[in-house]
């Protein structure tokens, strides 16, 4: 459930970045009165994306630790731990790249506004950020779904392992 909520936040951030780009393309100059709205929407959207990606990484770390502890304390199959590592290995590179690109797009947007960075750099970074963000959301969707199924499986195994103890009590 937590993973789904974080995905929704990431989707909202992605839509916000796209909305900010539309606002940016409608600007007539760096001194346009709507520039502050463009910057504010870009900042809020970028922060939402950073929040969702960071928390998804922490969520995978936390659930991985819980599964690792359950495996060690209850003698479950150690392959379950390897699954959690696979989730992190599959998702972290795209999450880090998505975060880096959205930060670079926002930061260098300030350079464009001051005239020290050509506008095409900001534009290219934006398109790259949106493409990587779409890919990251797809990876997050898959990995968080697999993670949730693994947690349900571990819970089922723990309940099955505990059943004979209760029956004998």
**Whole-number pLDDT of residue 30:** 84
Cβ-contact 84, 68 below 8 angstroms: yes
Looking at the chain, the whole-number percentage of residues with pLDDT higher than 90 is 89
**Residue 38: inside a domain:** yes
**Residue 127: inside a domain:** yes
- CA 114 – CA 56 distance, rounded (Å): 35
Residue 165: partners with Cβ closer than 8 Å, 6 or more residues away: none
Mean pLDDT of 53-79: 94
**Residue 49: inside a domain:** yes
4 pLDDT band, cuts 50/70/90, is confident
**Residue 102: inside a domain:** yes
**Residue 167: inside a domain:** no
C-alpha closest to that of 78 among 159, 154, 163, 160: 154
**Residue 114: inside a domain:** yes
Q: pLDDT of 96-111, one tens digit each?
A: 999 999 999 999 999 9
Domain extent, residue 34, equals: 2-156
Q: pLDDT of 15-47, one tens digit each?
A: 999 999 999 999 998 889 999 999 999 999 999
Q: Which two tokens stand for residue 60?
A: 């995978």
If one counts the domains in the chain, the total is 1
**Residue 162: inside a domain:** no
């Amino acid at each position: 459930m937590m993973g789904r909520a974080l995905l929704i936040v990431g989707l909202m951030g992605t839509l916000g970045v796209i909305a900010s780009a539309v606002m940016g393309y409608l600007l007539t100059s760096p001194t346009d009165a709507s520039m502050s709205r463009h910057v504010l929407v870009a900042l809020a959207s970028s922060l939402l994306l950073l929040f969702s990606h960071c928390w998804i990484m922490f969520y995978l770390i936390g659930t991985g630790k819980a599964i690792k502890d359950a495996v060690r304390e209850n003698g479950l199959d150690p392959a379950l731990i390897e699954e959690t590592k696979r989730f992190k290995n599959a998702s972290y590179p795209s999450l880090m790249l998505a975060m880096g690109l959205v930060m670079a797009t926002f930061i260098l947007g300030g350079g464009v506004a001051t005239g020290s960075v050509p506008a095409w750099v900001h534009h290219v970074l934006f398109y790259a950020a949106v493409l990587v963000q779409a890919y990251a959301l797809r990876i997050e969707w898959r990995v968080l779904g697999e993670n949730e199924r693994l947690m349900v499986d571990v819970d089922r195994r723990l309940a099955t392992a505990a059943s004979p103890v209760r029956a004998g009590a």
